[in-house]
Amino acid sequence: MHILIIGAAGMVGRKLTSALISAGQVGGKSIDKLTLADVVAPDAPEGFAGSVDTVAADLSSPGTAEQLIAGRPDLIFHLAAIVSGEAEADFEKGYRINFDGTRYLLEAIRQAGAGEAYVPRLIFTSSIAVFGAPFPEAIGDEFFNTPLTSYGTQKAICELLLNDYSRKGFVDGIGIRLPTITVRPGKPNLAASGFFSNILREPLSGKEAVLPVSKDVRHWFASPRAAIGFLLHAAEMDSSKLGWRRTISAPGLSATVGEEIEALRRVAGDEIVALIKEVPDPTIIGIVDGWPRNFDTQRAAALGFRAESSMDEIIRIHIEDELDGKIGG
């Protein structure tokens, strides 16, 4: 089978590429071609026996989506987006990339299918930012979407399009609202949620990290490993079980910043925790205040999605997968 990953150069895209190559197959069908696209051409992955195309492509440019699906990929992962902080700061860029890009992709698939039978599976990474305060302590599977950021609005709109294009038979779409991926490897990015990872990742590498919010802040987490698991499960599952409600809130772990810090202390000790500096940032505090804290993801559980059950486990996964087992840099 031929798999297209849009947003392949990002953290999730690279881990997903590696996981697909390791598995060699999806749902029993062997992977013989990978097309890896991003705004800068992704590096060609190692250890893959099939053919690989790496493509520099901006999905928000008209015509790009048509080029990306010209090879009729059977399975498409659409991970490309600009993050919440950037979409909030640059209104036009956010709508162009996070919304128009997705619409172009759906339209290209629909129009390709008008001339021949073509209904690929499309896995779309949505976000818990589709929810906005006030909400119940744990958000259920039928709670409404009232995003308080442009990013969340763009994701919610894409979810609606994914449903409608799937219902009309143009695509076999599945949306996954990812929890905040923690511990996110690499450097800090512009996401307002970055500190949730920074306060674990930086100290674990012996560096200082800034905590811009109160320790009481509660949030919803899953490891990168769990996130890749959601995407692979979505690629293989029986999508008819979703009906026309094509996006699900993925499972995760609800924890406070204080609980993150105490887990870090248990796993790595007081000296590591001492690297976290509290520097309140009113902008970040304001954004995070409108974010979800906890979910009741019965639907995802029934559909076979699994995540971590403790922050200690999330931290240990980071130490295993990113630090070769070594703490302190």
Binding mask 7-46 for a copy of itself (x = CB under 8 A): ----------------------------------------
Please tell me whether residue 113 binds a copy of itself under the rule CB under 8 A. Answer: no
Do 76 and 56 form a contact (C-beta atoms < 8 A)?
no
Please give the single-letter amino acid code of residue 216: D
CB of 289 to a copy of itself, least distance (A): 13
CA–CA dist 260, 280 (Å, integer): 17
151 an active-site residue?
yes
Which region, judged by CB under 8 A, interacts with a copy of itself, from 5-13, 115-123, 136-144, 301-309? 136-144
Catalytic residue among 95, 118, 151, 165: 151
One of 72, 207, 241, 245 touching a copy of itself (CB under 8 A)? 245
Please tell me whether residue 160 binds a copy of itself under the rule CB under 8 A. Answer: yes
Please tell me whether residue 148 binds a copy of itself under the rule CB under 8 A. Answer: yes
Which of 128, 288, 133 has the alpha carbon at shortest distance from 213?
288
Sign of the torsion angle spanned by Cα atoms 284, 186, 311, 127: positive
119: left (phi over 0), alpha (psi -120 to 50) or beta: beta
Please tell me whether residue 161 binds a copy of itself under the rule CB under 8 A. Answer: yes
Please tell me whether residue 101 binds a copy of itself under the rule CB under 8 A. Answer: no
* Owner of token pair 């990002």: 10
Enter the tokens of residue 127: 């976000």
Please tell me whether residue 143 binds a copy of itself under the rule CB under 8 A. Answer: yes
Enter the tokens of residue 297: 């993801």
Please tell me whether residue 297 binds a copy of itself under the rule CB under 8 A. Answer: no
**Per-position DSSP letters for 78-106, written without gaps between them:** E-----HHHHHH-HHHHIIIIIIHHHHHH
Enter the tokens of residue 59: 């999905």
Please give the single-letter amino acid code of residue 124: F
One of 91, 208, 277, 289 touching a copy of itself (CB under 8 A)? 91
Please tell me whether residue 251 binds a copy of itself under the rule CB under 8 A. Answer: no
Task: Provide the binding-site residues for a copy of itself, judged by CB under 8 A.
Answer: 91, 110, 132, 142-148, 150, 153, 156-157, 160-161, 163-164, 167-168, 244-245
Catalytic residues: 151
